[in-house]
Amino acid sequence: MLLISLLFRKRKELKTDIRSLDLVDIKKFCQENNMKPYVSNQVYSWLWNNFSSSFSQMSNLSKSNREIFNENFSINKITEDFEERSDDGTIKMRFKLYDGNFVEGVLIPQNTRMTACISSQVGCSLSCKFCATGTMGRTRNLSTGEIYDQVVAIANKCKEVYNLPLTNIVYMGMGEPLLNYRNVIKSIHFITSSEGLEMSYKRVTLSTSGIAKMIKRLADDNVKVNLALSLHAASEELRNSIMPIGGSNSLDDIRDALKYYFSKTKRKVTYEYVLLNEVNDSIKDAENLYKFTKHIPSKVNLIEYNTVDGLGFDRSSDKNTDLFMNYLDAKRVNVGLRRSRGKDINAACGQLANKK
């Protein structure tokens, strides 16, 4: 009996998640199984417009067609496992994946601006020294459907709690989006197109630690979203010491990639810069940042550091923060300070690590 149970479980695991298929693939499957041509469009709509979690929900399909799809495919939906609410209204949601892994997403309310911060990987391989997610390592990439499900779940939570629609999406959760390029770009398609949520691409921001060749690919593929670079240090030695991403991702490589990106897209880049006490918050650091950012139209978001136990970094002092900002202001840099949100529940920038 145990053997039969194990074999059934193995067979179930081998099913392909139908959301990994394109519409063309589903049409081909329908044709091979003698289904009417329009069935593929019905299934596709149920998956991406109606967020179906099972084939039995697809009520305009015949019972026999539903059974054929169910025998051959799975729909690996995420499920909410845990939720925590901050004093400032931020909501952190932990999601369980079909294989037992977990990721986190965050709803950040700011007046009528409602932002979903979503993850693209289980963990992260880049090991930034000040980031809790970087201590986890990378388990795997998220699928297109798993990324999309986070947005849908957070949008529903936004409506439920605040009675407001989701307005913005940032790929700033767990993982490096450009190391899961195909699935991230496909998820953006469903978020912004009539096949899915139909949100404006102007409301979507993709944040990267600086994968130079993939920044160029974004430009070549004309991905119409906002690009943010997690810079955090503008001298090579310092950046390598706190962000050891290595390879062909030196500051020179990244600068060249960003110049290429702007030449192709004419879109401004946002630089994210977390201020670490007596690490990257000196006037010399501000000067390096100015020199790095002046080559293309851009803005700088300075970020208050959110302390993570055991990592050994502290938030920059108010004095150093003010001096840093004043230097950039004097250089006519478009700079702002982003205040921490959700840090009391480990939901703020750099704190996501699947902790309850």
pLDDT tens digits, 233-279: 999 999 999 998 877 899 999 999 999 999 999 999 999 999 999 99
- Contact (Cβ atoms closer than 8 angstroms) between residue 226 and residue 205: yes
Q: Supply the pLDDT for residue 338.
A: 83
Q: Are residues 10 and 96 in the same domain?
A: no
Q: Supply the pLDDT for residue 79.
A: 96
pLDDT band at 8 (very low <50, low <70, confident <90, very high): very low
Within a domain: residue 145? yes
Q: Identify the CATH number of the domain in which residue 19 sits.
A: 1.10.150.530
Helix (H) or strand (E) segment spanning residue 6: helix 2-13
Q: Which of 56, 74, 92 is the last residue of a domain?
A: 74
Q: Supply the pLDDT for residue 13.
A: 56
Q: Supply the pLDDT for residue 226.
A: 97
Q: Are residues 60 and 105 in the same domain?
A: no
Q: Which of 37, 56, 74 is the last residue of a domain?
A: 74
Q: Are residues 66 and 84 in the same domain?
A: no
Q: Are residues 116 and 202 in the same domain?
A: yes
How, if at all, do strands 79-85 and 269-275 pair?
unpaired
Q: Are residues 89 and 67 in the same domain?
A: no
Structural domain including 207 reads: 79-345
Q: Which of 50, 74, 98 is the last residue of a domain?
A: 74
Compute the Cα dihedral for 238, 244, 245, 249 and give only its sign: positive
Residue 350 has pLDDT above 50, yes or no: no
Q: Are residues 21 and 159 in the same domain?
A: no
Q: Are residues 83 and 49 in the same domain?
A: no
Tokens of 245: 């991403």
Within a domain: residue 356? no
Catalytically active residues are 104, 349
Residue 5 has pLDDT above 50, yes or no: no
Q: Are residues 39 and 188 in the same domain?
A: no
Q: Are residues 60 and 94 in the same domain?
A: no
Q: Give 28-42 pLDDT, tens digit per residue.
A: 999 999 999 999 999
Helix (H) or strand (E) segment spanning residue 113: strand 113-117
Q: Are residues 189 and 336 in the same domain?
A: yes
Q: Are residues 162 and 54 in the same domain?
A: no
- Amino acid present at 239: R
pLDDT band at 11 (very low <50, low <70, confident <90, very high): very low
Please give the tally of structural domains in the chain: 2
Q: Give 107-122 pLDDT, tens digit per residue.
A: 999 988 999 999 999 9
Which residue, among 275, 343, 274, has the nearest Cα to 308 in the 3D structure?
343
pLDDT band at 354 (very low <50, low <70, confident <90, very high): low
